Structures are given as C-alpha cells and as structure tokens.
C-alpha cells in the first residue's frame, strides 16, 4: 500500500499559521483605528480564504502570501489592503 505524505503547509520554509496571519491583520486594523469587532470578522474570513489557498499549494513564498492576503483584504477594506501590500516599501 502506498502511503501518501500529507503536504506540509509552509511559507518560505516556515510553517504557515492562521493564528499569526489573524494577529497580523488585527494589528494592521489597529493602525487604521478600525473597530475591533469588525476587524475580527474580516480577519476570520480572510484567514479562511488564505488558508484554503495555501492548502491548494502546499508551499508558498512570503511575498505570495502577502499579495494574496492583500487581494482578499481589498474586498473588505481597501486601505487595509493598501497597508498590507506596502509593508516594507515605505523606506
């Protein structure tokens, strides 16, 4: 019997974590003074969508993850998406 190894969901060699992505989105929401309750809902939805996207691929780069997260965020909050997309591009 062939045993198929379950794909390890990793981002640039590190384990993908929905919790840390959720925390990240919540932090960006605080920067824009968004309501915590609304942010929780947005972060939950975006994390689910991104996690599904990562599961389909198995291994992704950090840049890809940021790009996809920003794209998913754009549906709910354009400013938040802008902030996410431009991290590390200010200086």
Interface residues with another protein (CB under 8 A) are: 27-28, 30-33, 79, 82-83, 86, 88-91
Q: Which residue, 61 or 86, is less far from another protein as judged by CB?
A: 86
Q: How far is the CB of 89 from another protein (least distance, A)?
A: 4
In angstroms, rounded to a whole number, what is the distance separating the alpha carbons of residues 32 and 17?
A: 23
Return all residues near 29 (Cβ < 8 A) that are at least 6 apart.
36, 39, 42, 43, 77, 80
Angle CA 15–19–20, to nearest 5:
70
Q: How far is the CB of 73 from another protein (least distance, A)?
A: 12
Q: How far is the CB of 24 from another protein (least distance, A)?
A: 9
- 3-state DSSP call for residue 10? strand
Q: Which residue, 7 or 31, is less far from another protein as judged by CB?
A: 31
């Amino acid at each position: 019997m062939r045993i198929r190894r379950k794909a390890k969901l990793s981002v640039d060699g590190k384990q993908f974590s929905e919790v840390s992505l959720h925390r990240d989105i919540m932090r960006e929401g605080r920067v824009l003074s968004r309501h915590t309750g609304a942010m929780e809902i947005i972060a939950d939805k975006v994390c689910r969508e991104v996690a599904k996207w990562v599961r389909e691929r198995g291994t992704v780069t950090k840049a890809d993850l940021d790009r996809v997260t920003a794209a998913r965020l754009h549906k709910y909050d354009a400013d938040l998406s802008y902030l996410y997309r431009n991290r590390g591009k200010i200086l």
